[in-house]
Amino acid sequence: MPAPFVIEEYVRWSDVDFAGIIFYGSYVRFFELAETELFRAAGLPFGTVFDQYDVFLPRVQVHTEFHSPPRLDDHLAVAAYIGRVGRTSMTIEFEVVRRPDGTHCADGHMVLVCVDRKALKPCPIPQGFITQLAPFTMTRDEARRQLGIAQDVA
């Protein structure tokens, strides 16, 4: 059964604003960490995969919704999963949950477009990517159910 990939991370001094709560831009760092480790867990480490397939995966969209602000030193679980795979693009979904109380702090997504490394023009996502990411491909409802996040969260 597919499952979200989860990393554990703490809110660090560089992640917070003067009020001691997480700065909105810090979520991009958490998302990027979770994305990188999801790809590594799928056997697609960025350090070698771009050479192997001769493609890049630039982001064309980054979106975050905020629900409850984490504070300095809060322990977070950041889940990443593939929500959609198209011909030339994919959407990686993220859920951020505070530990140990399970508060849903934020969610978001990134849209990545597969491009040829030389021409930087969109090209089909390699079948190897799709196959290797399958264990992490699921709907938002399924991911949230597995993570214990209330389904009424927008």
Total-model pTM: 0.94
- The pLDDT value recorded for residue 152 is 59
- The pLDDT value recorded for residue 74 is 97
Residue 106 lies in a domain: yes
Q: What domain count does the chain have?
A: 1
Residue 152 lies in a domain: no
Residue 53 lies in a domain: yes
CA 105 to chain centre: 14
Mean of the per-residue pLDDT values for the chain?
95
pLDDT digit string, tens, across residues 70-122: 999 999 999 999 999 999 999 999 999 999 999 999 999 999 999 999 999 99
Residue 31 lies in a domain: yes
Residue 154 lies in a domain: no
Residue 114 near residue 89 (C-beta atoms within 8 A): yes
Residue 109 lies in a domain: yes
Owning domain of residue 102 = 5-147
For residues 91-127, one letter each, b for 16 or more C-beta atoms within 10 angstroms of the residue's C-beta and e for the rest, the string is bbbbbbbbeeeebbbbbbbbbbbbbeeeeeebbebbe
Residue 19 lies in a domain: yes
pLDDT at 154 over 70: no
Residue 25 lies in a domain: yes
CATH of the domain at 92: 3.10.129.10
The pLDDT confidence band at residue 153, using thresholds 50, 70 and 90, is very low
